[in-house]
Amino acid sequence: MMDPRKALVVLAVSLVLVELPALSAGPKVGSLPRGEDWRTPTERAEYRTTPRYDETMAYLRRLAAAAPRQLKLETFGVTGEGRDLYVAIASKDGVFEPITLHRAKRPIVLIQNSIHAGEMDGKDSCLALLRDMVVTREKASLLERAVVVVIPIYNADGHERFGPHNRINQNGPEEAGWRTQSRNLNLNRDYMKADAPETRAFLKLWNRWLPDFFVDDHVTDGADFVYDTTYSLDSGPDVFPALAALQRDVLGPRLERSVADAGHPIAPFIALKDDADPSQGMVTWPSTPRYSTGYVILQNRPGLLVEMHMLKDYRSRVTGNYEVLRALLEVVNRDADALVTMNRDADAATVAAGRRHDPAARFPLRLEAESATETFRFQGRSYRRTPSEVSGALRIEYGDAPALMDVRRPSSFRVAYAVAPPAAYIVPAQWTSVIDVLAFHGLRLRRTSRPWAAEVETYRCDEVKWLDRPFEGRQVLFRPQEGPPGSEASRGACEPAKETLSFPRGSAVIPLDQRAAKVAIHFLEPEGPDSAVAWGFFNAVFEQKEYGEAYVLEKLARDMLEKDPRLKEEFERKLAEDRDFAASPATRLDFFYRRSPWWDSRMGLYPVGRLASLEGVPLDPERQEPGAP
Ligand SMILES: [Zn+2]
């Protein structure tokens, strides 16, 4: 009698033989086991097309049915238009519970696809990767320690705004989805403000899984060059040092070698200083927390941004994206213990810093590229520049020939603006939308049990200016150019102040001795690039709500001038020195209104308090929002 395992192999082989004629046109990969055609929808279409939402989910369900012990589908939210958001969880032994996995020190890798739903490379590569890990098992070793959580289609509504004209710069697939979600919000600007239901679902998912590594898959815009695969790993001064070193010294070089060995030219993300002249070199900018990979830094987790090159054919891009993920997972499995330990150390360091509350400590809020540059050997394309009668500017035309160029690029980032974190923040109860966002981020909130007033540190924001057009559906603050720390240019609109503020019962207290404290600092420090102030959550505070009639102010001004000779002197000096002031009757009257007791002293006063300790704050023992694990 034949060994039953051998019998299965014979059966499988014979089935494959039967299937072969039908499969001969397609790739060999994915035709096993059981003789079924396991090619992904895009492989079956020879990489001409990408599957719609329903077809994508049907393929994932098929994978999960074939390997129920290794692959599980879960929903994690609903889009604005009512579509379910899914994750596919691949685990070698059927353990799909984050808490159990954390306990076993198995690194969880969260791979996000289709945040920009015209950029489908990641989705289609993940379908192949999941198949190869759990069905054909050619890549089963990638699950040896790691558990892979894949969001196949994050922007599901945008994905179904399907058409051939959604990505003007991009070479295939024939049709794809749209960049933004159904309210036209760019989800990759929404990580801090969390306006979209998709972002809120993501944050819940994040806090449930608390992954050890995060990947966000995209397709570039920008220049032409040889590389089909580009990537970015943040390792600036805001990243926990051990994680920064892991990314810069281990992961980056390893990805480049491994992906290149697999036949895909790869480089760090390319952004030209001048789009029409590659010889001018590269620019780089820090990922602020509005972006996925900037956000995960605040959560003490490493993140990889994948940007496949838009001009390469879809087959090269999907397979290149596959190789990046494969190479990443190899490192994560190999360095599983180190990675898990670093993440826990980073969390512990954040909690300890919050507990210690050293007033001399500085937290980097804004970064900028160093002025020092390094040489980068850029594998560009030949090009020529000619005057254009269409645009009136120089036109760049790329040729097909590779062109090696030594160009300059910034070598690293430095801190442009830092702040001393308090021990805790307190947000008055009436600012519900701000408190809601803090809770979405998984922060542990306490509530006050009775009205409380105290002198606290806060800010006065008297120089606030707004951008003259909406951004992401909001009226956002205009920020001056960044400059060196402490310089005029790096100063924003807000100045530290000590004020007596009132906090009604139910005000939210956010202590910083918690692992997600950096999110609270970024959101509640007004000078943060993605703070609640910057995104316009507090705009009403900066509006003048009472006005003095001119004939009333005339009388007020005369009374004040008569009583206060120094004020009179100041007024006269301003008239003499400031022509705009002298020419504006309203501003001249306003001069007196602002200096009178009638002026609204709360205008421009930031209502959030910075607490040096929780002593004396009436905290409600019953109301404690738990925050993330
Ligand atoms: Zn993108």
pLDDT digits (tens, 9 = 90+) for 529-546: 999 999 999 999 999 999
What is the average pLDDT score of the chain? 92
Q: Ligand 1 centroid vs 179 CA: distance in angstroms?
A: 8
Instruction: Please give the distance, rounded to the nearest whole angstrom, from the Cα atom of residue 317 to the centre of ligand 1.
Output: 14
* Residue 623, pLDDT score: 79
- Ligand 1 center–CA 119 separation, angstroms: 6
Measured distance CA(35)–CA(19) in Å, rounded:
6
Check residues 6 and 300 and name the one with the higher pLDDT: 300
Please tell me the distance between residue 523's alpha carbon and the centre of ligand 1 in angstroms: 24
Stated as kind and residue range, the H or E segment containing 442 is none
Q: Give 82's pLDDT tier (boundaries 50, 70, 90).
A: very high
User: pLDDT, tens digit, for every residue of 495-520?
Assistant: 999 999 999 999 999 999 999 999 99
Centre of ligand 1 from the C-alpha of residue 579, in Å:
49
Distance from residue 169's CA to the centre of ligand 1 (Å): 12
Q: Cα 207–210–216 angle (5° rounding)?
A: 100
Ligand 1 center to residue 204 CA distance, Å? 22
- Predicted confidence band at 27 (pLDDT cuts at 50, 70, 90)? very low
| Residue 628's pLDDT band (cuts 50, 70, 90) | low
Q: What is the pLDDT of residues 136-174, one digit of tens each?
A: 999 999 999 999 999 999 999 999 999 999 999 999 999
* Exposed/middle/buried for residue 500 (C-beta within 10 Å: 0-12, 13-18, 19+): exposed
Interatomic CA distance for residues 328 and 214, integer angstroms? 11
- The beta strands (E) that lie in 92-225 are given as 108-112, 147-151, 213-219
C-alpha 113 to ligand 1 mean position (Å): 10
CA of 115 to the centre of ligand 1 (A): 7
Distance 368 CA to ligand 1 centre (A): 22
According to the model, what pLDDT value does residue 431 have? 98
Q: What pTM was computed for the model?
A: 0.92
Ligand 1 centre from 187 Cα, in Å? Answer: 10
